[in-house]
Amino acid sequence: MNSVLPSEAAYDRRRLRQWTRGRARMAGIDRRDLLRLIAAASVAAPLIPAAASPAHAAQSLAGVVKPLPPELFTVRGTNAETNFAALRDTGLLTPADRFFVRNHTSTPVIDTADWKLTVWGSGLTGGPVDFSYEALRALPSVSRTAFIECAGNGRSFFASQQGQQVSGTAWTLGAIGTARWRGVRLAEVLRRAGIGRNAVDVLPRGLDAEVISDGTNLGRVRRPLPVAKALDDVLLAYEMNGEPLPPDHGAPVRLVVPSWVGIANIKWVGDIEVSAEPLLSPWNTGLYRLFGPGYPPEGSAPLTRQTLKSAFELAPGASFAARRRHLLTGRSWSGGAPVRSVEVSTDGGARWRPARLRDEPRAGSWVRWTADWVPEETGPGVLLARATDRSGRTQPTTTAHNTQGYLFDAVVRHPVTVV
Ligand SMILES: Nc1nc2c(c(=O)[nH]1)N[C@H]1C(S)=C(S)[C@@H](COP(=O)(O)O)O[C@H]1N2
Ligand SMILES: [Mo]
């Protein structure tokens, strides 16, 4: 099991108390704007619909560098969702050309030669320390396989399956990808920069444009990480699947924060504040907490780990020939613990049978699975997949509502047609 769990929980409780007592410091946003953001967070605004795009036109999205062909991606606002059907012929790792993109604004194109990382703040024993790209590459490197998943992945099912209004991008299940990341341990860089015993929070910040939300300038994308996580398994990654990081995924260097909400994985990182005081930013206060009935007015503790989900590698409404054998394929993953088992139902949830796992389950990654299906009746049908992880948690039939539609973990009903 993961040694980070107890300290994460303690961090959350402590930070939340400090926030409610007004003792944590607002990094780069004033208190009134922050309170406005939190008030807005407690009310669900309508979902942001997918941009309409003609069926076979080559899509491009201002602000995203790579091509977004419609067979691979569905464009949603400034973001691109991976079509799960496009993962069927991929291995465990998601090729960069089909990895989802979540941009608050747009992809900056940064010249590696001009780039540096500045580590600074009251939690260092000395002054600011700069690392050039060359200097980072010269440090000992590590590689690890990890998924990055948006906290809002699956958000659209709050509306379509539960009839609940939530705000944010209407993702289906494709705001996730798994890659082999190579880089330097954040712990290594923080130690070389002289992190002190008094450090409590580490705040990486992106070099992309400032984010304007409802007329409020939230500043550049940044979200504090507790020191316990920062010193554990976090990477400053410069390679994705053996290639230099592509622009859309954070070139030249991004954070990879295994098992945590996508927003923790700051792209295009330019500086990291190491603080002796607890820090707040819009991304751990009004955003990326749970709001709504059942949560305190200031929201839940800041979100940390992703939840448990499963998806079929199929287009919605895919059709199957009756009385033939079909191989259903899909993937399941959990931020909590490795996946233990997956069950599939082809009759709308009345009966379940085990799927065959194709990968050794590992923390922070996903497992591919298969199941045979010989449909008998023609007409509309529903496929379901349900995972259980090694912490004993199983995907439920519904997810408790939260206004911003984070962490949807319920079993998704996948519509199909038998012909
Ligand atoms: N600087 C910066 N980092 C960022 C973001 C961003 O807009 N700017 N988006 C975050 C969110 S919400 C997610 S889900 C992941 C998405 O990573 P990807 O675009 O490589 O898939 O990046 C995170 N890091
Ligand atoms: Mo995200």
Per-residue pLDDT of the chain (419 residues; tens, 9 = 90+): 333 334 455 555 566 566 656 667 777 777 777 777 777 887 776 666 555 444 445 567 889 999 999 999 999 999 999 999 999 999 999 999 999 999 999 999 999 999 999 999 999 999 999 999 999 999 999 999 999 999 999 999 999 999 999 999 999 999 999 999 999 999 999 999 999 999 999 999 999 999 998 888 999 999 999 999 999 999 999 999 999 999 999 999 999 999 999 999 999 999 999 999 999 999 998 999 999 988 998 899 999 999 999 999 999 999 999 999 999 999 999 999 999 999 999 999 999 999 999 999 999 999 999 999 999 999 999 999 999 999 999 999 999 999 999 999 999 999 999 99
Residue listed under structure tokens 């953001």: 37
Cβ atoms of residues 272 and 202 within 8 Å: yes
Q: 0.75 cut: is pTM over it?
A: yes
Q: Where are the alpha helices (DSSP H) in 89-146?
A: 133-138
- Ligand 1 near 185 CB (within 6 A): no
Radius of gyration from C-alpha coordinates of the chain: 21
Range(s) of the chain covered by CATH 3.90.420.10: 6-284
Neighbours of 212 (CB within 10 A): 12
Distance 150 CA to ligand 2 centre (A): 3
* Token pair recorded at residue 81: 């969702």
DSSP code at position 56: T
Beta pairing class for 414-418 and 379-389: antiparallel
pLDDT of 306:
98
Distance 316 CA to ligand 2 centre (A): 23
- Ligand 1 near 73 CB (within 6 A): no
Distance 264 CA to ligand 2 centre (A): 8
Distance CA 262, CA 66 (A): 20
Query: Distance between terminal CA atoms of the chain?
Result: 46
Cβ atoms of residues 139 and 133 within 8 Å: no
Q: DSSP per residue over 76-112, as a string?
A: ETTEEEEPGGGGTT--SSPPGGGS-B--SS------G
Distance 175 CA to ligand 2 centre (A): 8
Cβ atoms of residues 361 and 367 within 8 Å: yes
Distance 249 CA to ligand 1 centre (A): 8
Distance 104 CA to ligand 1 centre (A): 7
22 Rama class: left (phi>0) / alpha (psi -120 to 50) / beta: left
Distance CA 361, CA 375 (A): 29
Closest atom of ligand 1 to CA, residue 268: 1
Preceding omega of 226 cis (within 30 degrees of 0): no
Q: Where are the alpha helices (DSSP H) in 177-270?
A: 186-193, 227-230
Which amino acid does the sequence have at 269? V
Q: Residues whose CB is under 5 A from ligand 2 (ion)?
A: 102, 150, 262-263
- Ligand 1 near 221 CB (within 6 A): yes
- Residue 235's nearest CA partner among 219, 250, 215, 218 is 250
pLDDT of 95:
98
* Token pair recorded at residue 387: 């995972």
- The closest residue, in CA terms, to atom 19 on ligand 1 is 101
pLDDT of 36:
79
- Ligand 1 near 222 CB (within 6 A): no
308-418, which class in CATH?
A: mainly beta
What are the phi and psi torsion angles at 64 (to 5°)? -115, 130
Distance CA 249, CA 247 (A): 5
- Ligand 1 near 108 CB (within 6 A): no
Distance CA 189, CA 43 (A): 40
CATH architecture of 6-284: Alpha-Beta Complex (3.90)
- Ligand 1 near 267 CB (within 6 A): yes
Triad 391, 102, 91: Cα angle to 5°: 60
Range(s) of the chain covered by CATH 2.60.40.650: 308-418
- Ligand 1 near 154 CB (within 6 A): no
pLDDT of 50:
52
Beta pairing class for 235-240 and 243-244: antiparallel
Distance CA 232, CA 187 (A): 7
- Residue 29's nearest CA partner among 289, 295, 207, 224 is 224
Residue listed under structure tokens 């341990």: 185
- Ligand 1 near 81 CB (within 6 A): no
Distance CA 310, CA 328 (A): 13
